[in-house]
Amino acid sequence: MKYYIIAGEASGDLHGSNLMKALLKEDKNADIRFWGGDLMLSVGGTLVKHYKERAFMGFVEVLLNLRKIFGLISFCKKDIEEFQPDVIVYIDNSGFNLRIAKWAKQQGYKNHYYISPQVWASRAGRVEKIKRDIDQMYVILPFEKEFYQKYNYDVTFVGHPLVDAIAGRKQVNETQFRKENQLGEKPIVALLPGSRKQEIIKMLSVMLSIVDDFSDYQFVIAGAPSQQYDFYKGIIGTRNIAFVDNQTYDLLSISYAALVTSGTATLETALFKVPQVVCYKGSAISYQIAKRIITLKYISLVNLIMDKEVVKELIQKEMNANNLKKELAEILNGVKRDYLFENYYELEQKLGGEGASSATAKSIVENLKN
């Protein structure tokens, strides 16, 4: 059968690659065409567009790139028509995907959605469009099934794919990893400043401003697969800061603490049982718009799933050197470490264990056979 998968950003590429592996197990003759990244490409199939081509963050950035975005939407529709898939599988990335889904439903294509748009965070009215256009929704957060039930929409909770991705990885040899990346013996504080250029510029400069206050630790930047080292070097300047390229999981597995930009990385860090401070700072205009439409108490997935403040969130003006220094000190000196570890283990239980990709692939294939 023919599968057309649309994913965006590094996290979508990761989850898309694992879903593709599971689909190929269920359907040996699967013909997969996709929008994604290097991880999906490594599995096989045909890459249409790399997510780097449409990595826009915030309301202002999207507005400035509307012409390019609409051009990509038009191209996607034409590509789907030429491929004639048996099913289209959307992975997160709601701004782009829901536009394609509306058109695809009108054309008679089957629409399956893996990793729900965050309609529970803002613009819940989109649920009606999802009910209209999506034949099957697979959700990965435990509270999402209950949320959709309020709108009489039956969705399938498959567990979180990050549990699979982390459980299935090869154990890193710490001594070898440190040697290969020229890291010393000091405990590591991982810096995860995000994957888009706009957020890296804002986050990393503040993170680096406190490095000299913690001389007993070494700070290591986790480079995103979508960016080159030269870009980071422009922010690092003359500071002697270690950098690892596209090895975030290996870095987290040996880290003592982390400073993390809000997003999927906060959950990844928690699953590696690394105490963290969550950071976020967007453009002033984007932040003011977001404040008016987002109805959540928290921004990190860790706190959202646990429905309480487990990890500290420093947002916008609170994301400054003084606050970051204070919060990092608390998770380094032991004050909050036991509390974080206890909640991290409870969080993992709530996520439902392994098997998200496999369960989703089985459901997709069975649906096509019926």
- Mean pLDDT, residues 194-223 taken together: 93
Topology of the domain comprising 174-350: Rossmann fold (3.40.50)
Residue 219, Cβ neighbours under 10 Å: how many?
A: 22
Q: What percentage of the chain reaches a pLDDT higher than 70?
A: 92
pLDDT at position 295: 54
pLDDT at position 199: 87
* Neighbouring residues of 332: CB distance < 8 A, sequence distance ≥ 6: 189, 214, 217, 256, 257
Topology of the domain comprising 2-159+355-369: Rossmann fold (3.40.50)
Give per-residue pLDDT as tens, 105-148: 999 999 999 999 988 877 788 899 999 999 999 999 988 999 99
pLDDT at position 82: 98
pLDDT category of residue 283 using cuts at 50, 70 and 90: low
Check pLDDT > 70 for residue 86: yes
Lookup: tokens for 92: 């997160």
* Residues pairing with 270 in the sheet: none
Question: Are 357 and 22 in contact, with CB atoms under 8 Å apart?
Answer: yes
Q: Give the whole-angstrom CA distance, residue 34 versus residue 337.
A: 41
HSE on the CB side for 346, CA within 13 Å? 13
Tell me, what DSSP letter sits at residue 294?
A: B
Domain boundaries for CATH 3.40.50.2000 within the chain: 2-159+355-369, 174-350
pLDDT at position 245: 93
* Neighbouring residues of 217: CB distance < 8 A, sequence distance ≥ 6: 186, 187, 188, 189, 256, 257, 332
In DSSP notation, 46-88 reads EEEEEGGGG---HHHHHHHTHHHHHHHHHHHHHHHHHH--SEE
HSE on the CB side for 104, CA within 13 Å? 35
pLDDT at position 164: 85
Provide the b/e sequence for 296-307 (b: ≥16 CB within 10 Å).
Answer: eebbbbbbbbbe
pLDDT at position 334: 82
Q: Which of 185-194, 260-269, 295-304, 328-337 has the lowest mean pLDDT?
A: 295-304
pTM recorded for the entire structure: 0.78
What does the radius of gyration of the chain's CA atoms come to, in whole angstroms?
Answer: 21
pLDDT at position 292: 44
Q: Give the whole-angstrom CA distance, residue 114 versus residue 4.
A: 13
Question: In degrees rounded to 5, what are phi and psi of residue 278?
Answer: -95, 135
pLDDT at position 293: 43
**Average pLDDT taken over every residue of the chain:** 90
| Residue 233 burial (C-beta neighbours within 10 Å; 0-12, 13-18, 19+) | exposed
- Mean pLDDT, residues 36-62 taken together: 80
- Mean pLDDT, residues 1-25 taken together: 93
Give per-residue pLDDT as tens, 235-278: 999 898 999 998 999 999 999 999 999 888 999 999 999 999 99
Listed residue (332, 302, 300, 326) closest to 313, CA to CA: 300
